[in-house]
Amino acid sequence: MGNMYQEMGICKEVEDFCQDIAKDLAERFTEIDRIAEQNQMKVIHAMQKERVDATCFAGTTGYGYNDMGRDTLEKVYASCFHTEAALVRPQITCGTHALAIALSANLLPGDELLSPVGKPYDTLERIIGITESPCSLAEYGVSYRQVDLLLDGTFDYDNIAKAITDKTKLVTIQRSKGYQMRPTFSVKQIGELIAFIKKIKPSVICMVDNCYGEFVEEMEPSDVGADMMVGSLIKNPGGGLAPIGGYICGIQACIDRCAYRLSAPGLGQEVGASLDVMRSLYQGYFLAPNVVSGAIKGAIFAANIYEKLGFKVIPNSTESRHDIIQAVELGTAEGVIAFCEGIQKAAPVDSYVTPEPYAMPGYVSDVIMAAGAFIQGSSIELSADAPIREPYAVFFQGGLTWYHAKLGIMMSLQRLYEKGLVELV
Ligand SMILES: *Cc1c(COP(=O)(O)O)cnc(C)c1O
């Protein structure tokens, strides 16, 4: 194995340092495998219950009336995530689009949207109108209120209670940290927050942005009271095979409105040809629990390596996991760039290109992204991205297999080591 890593460009010092750390993680990985097994059963059970068969994989064209594969897949999602209904479509272009649909379908002029967990993900700023934009919710007369987290990363219950008014229609709860250094919330924490909000105002719709969270725990936010749960198929639930798509699972009344917003009032879920993507969406969902477990192992490995080298890592080396994201605060733009170069060099696709920071649509500062993916932009595949701004943290995620994630982290360290940005202790 030593020779193989050397052929990949990893020196002996880096390899020894990393293998020592990997050795100590066996017990931790057993628990990850246990959760993956539970979730694998959950997915298979849902597929059996909804009687998935080979005809589900046939594509439809045109309007897509009576698309059995599409309708059954939506039942599988609803069944697995324990919701009344689901909208799972290739016409949902990404996670941001799914969130925009869920919000704009369920908020009307005069309503207020509340985020009780601080600033939402960058691409939501223009959807909400925090940053002015044509077609934002603000332009349509939907107001927005935000309650920041307390300094220790917990919910500010006093101010959340004060922020819930007659106008509050929908509460958006982002599970994953996104590009922030706050903790990701556990499903249990999300459940407590939802219970608190519903006690004050039972009619409020609680939506969870579940991006990067699917199959990390045994339960999902839909098991603890979320009325809508939203995510991207080029992240966890697509299992690396879905070439496009997003999902919204939740109560029937909310999903009906989402379907009308996605297609048109009156049409809803009855139109939308699946073309030829159904097999990938099913097979990806089937593989997702295992793929997610590999990604979590990679994240834990990264945390242990970079923490040992003295960097701040979120989550830290021993904390429990609630999404697949690992943040490493490298402290300098050079460190962030070197890390991303290493991830790129480990890729099966596009390994020879050098990633560089640039301005991305929907993001406020320049962003560097490293990925060599089979599906463009897929972040369940090994990828790293970082906004070039304080505190110069890199966000690392994915890896369709644990072995690839491991190689990526080793290559990132190799790059930092070559550039003299770390000393191996
Ligand atoms: C990735 C992500 C989104 C947006 O998803 P895209 O598919 O990139 O549009 C939204 N929220 C969170 C927390 C995310 O991680």
Query: Residue 295: which CATH number?
Result: 3.90.1150.60
Q: Is 302 part of a structural domain of the chain?
A: yes
For residues 169 and 94, state if they share a domain.
yes
The atom number, within ligand 1, closest to the CA of 212 reads: 15
Q: State yes or no: pLDDT of 2 exceeds 70.
A: no
Does the beta carbon of 96 sit less than 6 angstroms from any atom of ligand 1? Answer: yes
Write down the pLDDT at residue 181: 77
Nearest CA owner, ligand 1 atom 2: 211
Ligand 1, residues 123, 247, 369: which to mutate, most atoms within 8 A of Cβ?
123
Q: Is 398 part of a structural domain of the chain?
A: yes
Nearest CA owner, ligand 1 atom 7: 95
Å from CA of 208 to ligand 1 middle? 12
Cα 52 to Cα 69, 240, 249, 290: the distances in Å are: 8, 20, 19, 20
Å from CA of 9 to ligand 1 middle? 33
Return the percentage of the chain with pLDDT > 70, whole number: 99
The count of domains in the chain is 2
pLDDT in tens, 394-423: 999 999 999 999 999 999 999 999 999 999
* pLDDT band at residue 362 using 50, 70 and 90 as cut-offs: low
Q: State yes or no: pLDDT of 235 exceeds 90.
A: yes
For residues 308 and 178, state if they share a domain.
no
Q: Is 424 part of a structural domain of the chain?
A: no
For residues 261 and 187, state if they share a domain.
yes
The atom number, within ligand 1, closest to the CA of 246 reads: 7
For residues 246 and 324, state if they share a domain.
no
For residues 247 and 331, state if they share a domain.
no
Q: What is the mean pLDDT of residues 18-23?
A: 97
Q: State yes or no: pLDDT of 236 exceeds 80.
A: yes
Nearest CA owner, ligand 1 atom 14: 211
The atom number, within ligand 1, closest to the CA of 99 reads: 10
Q: State yes or no: pLDDT of 138 exceeds 90.
A: yes
The DSSP H or E segment spanning 231 is: strand 228-232
> Which of 234, 259, 285 lies at the terminal end of a domain, its last residue?
285
Separation of alpha carbons 386 and 389, rounded Å: 8
What's the mean pLDDT when you consider all of the chain? 96
176 near 295, Cβ under 8 Å?
A: no
Å from CA of 324 to ligand 1 middle? 13
Rg, Å, the chain Cα set: 21
Q: What is the mean pLDDT of residues 150-173?
A: 97
pLDDT in tens, 91-108: 999 999 999 999 999 999
Å from CA of 211 to ligand 1 middle? 6
Does the beta carbon of 214 sit less than 6 angstroms from any atom of ligand 1? Answer: no
Position 225, amino acid = G
Burial class (CB in 10 A: 0-12, 13-18, 19+), 389: middle
Does the beta carbon of 209 sit less than 6 angstroms from any atom of ligand 1? Answer: yes
For residues 264 and 326, state if they share a domain.
no
Å from CA of 230 to ligand 1 middle? 10
> Which of 226, 258, 285 lies at the terminal end of a domain, its last residue?
285
Å from CA of 1 to ligand 1 middle? 37
Q: Is 45 part of a structural domain of the chain?
A: no
Å from CA of 263 to ligand 1 middle? 21
Q: State yes or no: pLDDT of 10 exceeds 80.
A: yes
Cα 292 to Cα 17, 53, 219, 235, 237: the distances in Å are: 25, 25, 14, 9, 9
Q: State yes or no: pLDDT of 178 exceeds 90.
A: no
Does the beta carbon of 323 sit less than 6 angstroms from any atom of ligand 1? Answer: no
The atom number, within ligand 1, closest to the CA of 174 reads: 13
Q: State yes or no: pLDDT of 298 exceeds 70.
A: yes
For residues 31 and 127, state if they share a domain.
no
Write down the pLDDT at residue 225: 98
Q: Is 213 part of a structural domain of the chain?
A: yes
Q: State yes or no: pLDDT of 317 exceeds 90.
A: yes
245 near 73, Cβ under 8 Å?
A: no
* pLDDT band at residue 1 using 50, 70 and 90 as cut-offs: low
Q: State yes or no: pLDDT of 211 exceeds 70.
A: yes
* pLDDT band at residue 425 using 50, 70 and 90 as cut-offs: confident
The DSSP H or E segment spanning 280 is: helix 278-308
> Which of 257, 285, 313 lies at the terminal end of a domain, its last residue?
285
Å from CA of 27 to ligand 1 middle? 31
For residues 118 and 220, state if they share a domain.
yes
- pTM, full prediction: 0.95
- CATH code of the domain covering residue 273: 3.40.640.10
Å from CA of 376 to ligand 1 middle? 14
Q: Is 172 part of a structural domain of the chain?
A: yes
The atom number, within ligand 1, closest to the CA of 121 reads: 11
For residues 297 and 158, state if they share a domain.
no
State the number of CA atoms in the 13 A half-sphere of 1 facing the CB: 6
For residues 274 and 309, state if they share a domain.
no
* pLDDT band at residue 220 using 50, 70 and 90 as cut-offs: very high
For residues 203 and 341, state if they share a domain.
no
* pLDDT band at residue 111 using 50, 70 and 90 as cut-offs: very high
* 3-class DSSP assignment, residue 228: strand
Q: Is 24 part of a structural domain of the chain?
A: yes
Write down the pLDDT at residue 365: 84
Q: Is 47 part of a structural domain of the chain?
A: no
DSSP designation for 270: G
Cα 196 to Cα 33, 146, 155, 193, 315: the distances in Å are: 33, 16, 11, 5, 26
Q: State yes or no: pLDDT of 179 exceeds 80.
A: no
Does the beta carbon of 212 sit less than 6 angstroms from any atom of ligand 1? Answer: yes
The atom number, within ligand 1, closest to the CA of 176 reads: 13
Q: 124 is in which domain, residue-wise?
A: 52-285
For residues 320 and 230, state if they share a domain.
no
Å from CA of 398 to ligand 1 middle? 14
